[in-house]
Amino acid sequence: MGLELYARVEEYLNFQDEVKELHSTFLGLIFEKGLDDIIDIGCGQGTFMMHLLANGVNAYGIDLSVEQIKVCQAYNLNADAISLDKVNEKFNCATAIFDVINYIPKNELKQFFKDASSVLNDNGYFIFDINSLFGFEEVAQGSLNIKDEDRFIAIDAIFENEELKTDITLFSKTKNNLYEKEADTITQYYHDIQFLKNIIIDSGFKLEEIINFNLHTDEEADKLIFICKK
């Protein structure tokens, strides 16, 4: 699914400010509800876990990218490269931040939410964000080229038939001053709000709130934050 290649180019995409803003919002929700003992699903390189730990909140992370988890473990974070259904512990809160839910195909969502419920204690929370339709159509599409002395990155994203396909191409300079090419594709899926509501309820959650969130533009909400309670 392109996760490993994306992990290698992510630091060059200049999303630091957006990630910081979204993390700050999730932290505020966790503090507001007095939650601790968090599992961060799709934890990436562990930045959100570091914020949690810095504020005295116990955190565990999982991600399907082995490369991302290697970074977490280099920082001595408690994280594993496993899928959600392999987690045996129970937590008071689960988070899935920055498009994690959009990487899950529609036909796998119901099982994913059941797995999320199974790792939560009674009255536990599942807090996650998704891209809105506006976010997919007006923000996520487009092309980006990044070049420095050692690499060239080309990213092309097209949204069609409720899927955002992002082609990633990386040219890396070798010791012989030649370039090695790697390419892969990431797919994200648009999930209709009512479709998600039905799955949330069927999975044993109560949907407490949906927050409209302007992450990339003030024109219209490009993200939605869901707060669900088991």
pLDDT above 70 (res 1): no
Q: Which residue has the higher pLDDT, 88 or 9?
A: 88
Domains of the chain, residue spans: 3-132+191-229, 135-188
- Across the range 26-55, mean pLDDT stands at 96
- Which amino acid is it at 164? L
User: Please, are residues 84 and 41 in contact by the beta-carbon 8 Å criterion?
Assistant: yes
Mean pLDDT score across all residues of the chain: 94
Q: Which residue has the higher pLDDT, 66 or 120?
A: 120
Q: Which residue has the higher pLDDT, 17 or 193?
A: 193
- List, for residues 51-80, the tens digit of each pLDDT value: 999 999 999 999 999 989 999 999 999 999
- Across the range 3-29, mean pLDDT stands at 88
What percentage of the chain has pLDDT greater than the value 90? 85
Residue with tokens 């949690």: 52
* Residue 140 zone, left/alpha/beta (φ > 0; ψ -120 to 50; rest): alpha
- Identify the weakest region by mean pLDDT among 70-74, 145-149, 157-161, 206-210: 145-149
β-pairing, 120-131 with 91-96? parallel
User: Please, are residues 68 and 44 in contact by the beta-carbon 8 Å criterion?
Assistant: yes
- Across the range 108-113, mean pLDDT stands at 97
- Which amino acid is it at 8? R
Does this chain's domain 3-132+191-229 share its CATH topology with 135-188?
no
Closest C-alpha to 52, from 91, 14, 3: 91
**Domain topology for 3-132+191-229:** Rossmann fold (3.40.50)
- Across the range 37-55, mean pLDDT stands at 96
d(CA 60, CA 80): 8
Q: Which residues does 50 contact at the CB level (< 8 Å), separation at least 6?
A: 75, 77
Multiple choice CATH, 135-188, 3.40.50.720, 2.20.25.110, 3.90.650.10, 3.30.1360.170: 2.20.25.110
- Across the range 191-198, mean pLDDT stands at 97
- Identify the weakest region by mean pLDDT among 8-17, 162-171, 179-188: 8-17
Full DSSP string of 14-78: --HHHHHHHHHHHHHHHHHTT--SEEEET-TTSHHHHHHHHTT--EEEE-S-HHHHHHHHHTT--
pLDDT of residue 2: 64
